[in-house]
């Protein structure tokens, strides 16, 4: 069977074509490049039924991906991430549909960044690159370091100085050279961009190379397969750089093009924190681009992205799907995390908790129907984030009053 159906790349803004098989960053217009495939040939050579014979993990969708040589596919034991019903929330909110969490925290390095970075690193190997660099709020850097180490590549990572220590240590332990920067992720990105010529690395920043989006696209392919090739009514997605939202929208278009799904699309809902909501502001203003959000802050570090190179792609998908962009307050994010942990037994990361808070808010204001099937993306395991200590103590050397435990 043919291993890659890639035909070319094209500028997401102008449509200018670029030849496949070469190293590319942004287009000449300074916009993200999108990978295009011969979907007609793909549809003739692949059926839905073929996936029943394949192992779990996003490499099962290899025909939809750009890596041509099997030996260049870097794997760390990826799984198909589970769909978990929030049954207690459904009952309490009077939901007659479904509220489902897709828990991406089960992937290697504990986050959905594994999808995009596995593809970026694999394509870097295929194209002969050996030194990769990126800015990160934590999880992307950890994923890049892990996959690049498995591929025998050097990595250099820059992160804001308040990045959770566990992320910084994880990057370093998995082989990355990691540096804290006294600024935000866009400041780290500027260092990476300026160092391309001086340090000789390749910039793997969000959407500044074409292949992370292809890895994130697999969330849409996987979700469609898990739901029997029927898409949900709404998707709440924690939106920083927005690669996953853009990637899923691309996946749905490709699935329709080969006849595996119809024209129905879920409402794509971009969820941001009130302290960093450039996409929400642009959506509300009817703008196509989102200017820099000054003094951005939220403890949900993964969505603390003050400016996104793919802003117009996020906003186009949101509007084309009849979706919306919504900001949630900081307290609501962490109250949501605590509520889901106590009531459902599921420890969300703060960014994932933001989608729960946004869903609850949207059910209350009627933007989402209680009969809808809704999917919330939890982008990482909550174990990678600080948690408040609430531990009691028992002195075993003294009489124990067991009535306190009733």
Q: Which helix (H) or strand (E) holds 365?
A: helix 350-365
Q: Kindly provide the residue ranges of all beta strands, DSSP E only, lying in 104-199, ordered along the sequence.
A: 131-135, 154-160, 177-181
The confidence score (pLDDT) of residue 209 equals 96
Which tokens is 290 given?
């989102």
pTM here is 0.95
The confidence score (pLDDT) of residue 4 equals 85
The confidence score (pLDDT) of residue 2 equals 58
The confidence score (pLDDT) of residue 388 equals 85
Encode pLDDT of 117-129 as tens digits.
Answer: 999 999 999 999 9
The confidence score (pLDDT) of residue 21 equals 94
Q: Are strands 202-203 and 177-181 parallel, antiparallel or unpaired?
A: unpaired
> Rounded to whole angstroms, what are the CA distances from 55 to 60, 78, 79?
7, 10, 9
Regions of the chain where pLDDT drops below 70: 1-3
Q: Which domains does the chain have, with CATH numbers?
A: 83-108+211-384 (3.40.50.1100)
Encode pLDDT of 128-182 as tens digits.
Answer: 999 999 999 999 999 999 999 999 999 999 999 999 899 999 999 999 999 999 9
Encode pLDDT of 303-339 as tens digits.
Answer: 999 999 999 999 999 999 999 999 999 999 999 999 9
């Amino acid at each position: 069977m043919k291993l890659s159906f890639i035909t070319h790349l094209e500028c997401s803004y102008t449509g200018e074509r670029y030849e496949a098989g070469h190293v590319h960053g942004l287009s000449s217009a300074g916009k993200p490049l999108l990978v295009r495939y011969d979907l007609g040939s793909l549809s003739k050579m692949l059926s839905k039924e073929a996936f029943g014979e394949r192992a779990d993990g996003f490499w099962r969708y290899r025909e939809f991906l750009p890596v041509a040589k099997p030996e260049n596919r870097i794997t760390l034991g990826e799984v198909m991430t589970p769909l978990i019903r929030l049954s207690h929330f459904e009952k309490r909110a009077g939901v007659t549909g479904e509220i489902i969490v897709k828990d991406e925290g089960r992937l290697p390095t504990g986050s959905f960044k594994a999808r995009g970075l596995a593809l970026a690193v694999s394509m870097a190997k295929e194209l002969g690159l050996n030194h990769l660099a990126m800015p990160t709020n934590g999880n992307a850097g950890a994923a890049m370091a892990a996959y690049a180490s498995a591929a025998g590549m050097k990595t250099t990572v820059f992160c804001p100085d308040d990045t959770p220590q566990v992320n910084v240590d994880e990057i370093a332990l998995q082989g990355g050279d990691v540096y804290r920067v006294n600024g935000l992720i866009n400041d780290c990105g500027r260092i990476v961009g300026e160092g391309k010529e001086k340090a000789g690395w390749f910039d793997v920043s969000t959407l500044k190379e074409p292949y992370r989006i292809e890895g994130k696209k697999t969330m849409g392919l996987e979700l469609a397969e898990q739901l029997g090739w029927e898409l949900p009514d709404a998707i709440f997605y924690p939106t920083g750089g927005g690669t996953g939202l853009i990637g899923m929208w691309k996946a749905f278009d490709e699935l329709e093009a080969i006849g595996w799904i119809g024209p129905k699309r879920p409402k794509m809902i971009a969820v941001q924190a009130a302290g960093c909501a450039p996409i929400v502001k642009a959506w509300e203003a009817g703008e196509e681009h989102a200017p820099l959000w000054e003094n951005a802050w939220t403890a949900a570090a993964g969505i603390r992205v003050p400016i996104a190179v793919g802003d117009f792609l996020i906003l186009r998908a949101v509007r084309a799907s009849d979706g919306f962009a919504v900001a949630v307050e900081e307290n609501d994010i962490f109250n949501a995390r605590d509520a889901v942990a106590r009531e459902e037994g599921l420890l969300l990361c703060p960014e994932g908790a933001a989608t729960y808070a946004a869903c609850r808010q949207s059910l209350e204001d009627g933007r989402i129907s209680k009969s809808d099937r809704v999917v919330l993306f939890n982008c990482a395991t909550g174990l990678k984030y600080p948690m408040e200590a609430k531990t009691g103590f028992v002195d075993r050397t003294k009489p124990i009053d067991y009535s306190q435990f009733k």
